[in-house]
Amino acid sequence: MEIQDIDIWLEIFFMKGEDEPSLPAFFFVRDKGRFWKITNAEVLFIEAQKSYCRIQTLEKSWLILTQLGNFEAVLPEHEFLRIHRSYMIGLRHLQSFDHRTVYLPGYELPIGESYRLAVRDRMLIIQPPGPSVVIAD
């Protein structure tokens, strides 16, 4: 993949009659002088790669010069989850997970040891009645 002139632009939109900004539903990346809209819903995951981040959507991969923490700071918590020092996922596309891996359409990503409890705590897990099942790490 050729690294091009790509930036990220995020606009926080305000809802009428409210003092607090609503959460952004999309952001823009700049590729060769043109801005491309990426909705939160289409993001499978964002991967840190040295000084860059790869945004993987259902249809395309974008490589931009920024840190993963910048995405984590501005994208809505209820739509995204940091699972590893190098990965943040779009929760909408999460198909399943175990104590070491999350499964997205076409991808298996590792869960970092320090993120395991956070991943499990964010999920609504319904278990059958009876003795509780403990997932060993």
Q: What is the pLDDT of residues 48-63, one digit of tens each?
A: 999 899 999 999 999 9
> Is the model's pLDDT at 112 over the cut of 80?
yes
Q: Let me know the angle formed at the C-alpha of 39 by 34 and 42, rounded to the nearest 5 degrees.
A: 115
Provide the domain limits for residue 86: 6-92
Q: Is residue 71 part of a domain?
A: yes
Please tell me whether residue 35 adopts helix, strand or coil conformation.
Answer: strand
Q: Is residue 15 part of a domain?
A: yes
Please report, to the nearest 10 degrees, the dihedral formed by the alpha carbons of residues 106, 113, 89, 64 taken in order: -100
CATH number at residue 44: 2.40.50.40
Q: Is residue 40 part of a domain?
A: yes
Residue 66 to residue 93: CA distance in whole angstroms: 23
> Is the model's pLDDT at 125 over the cut of 60?
yes
Q: Which is nearest to 22 in space by CA: 81, 79, 66, 60?
A: 79
Residue 49 to residue 57: CA distance in whole angstroms: 16
Q: Is residue 118 part of a domain?
A: no
**pLDDT one-digit tens code per residue, 66-102:** 899 999 988 999 999 999 999 999 999 999 999 899 9
Q: In the chain, how many domains are there? A: 1
User: What is the value of pTM for the model shown?
Assistant: 0.77
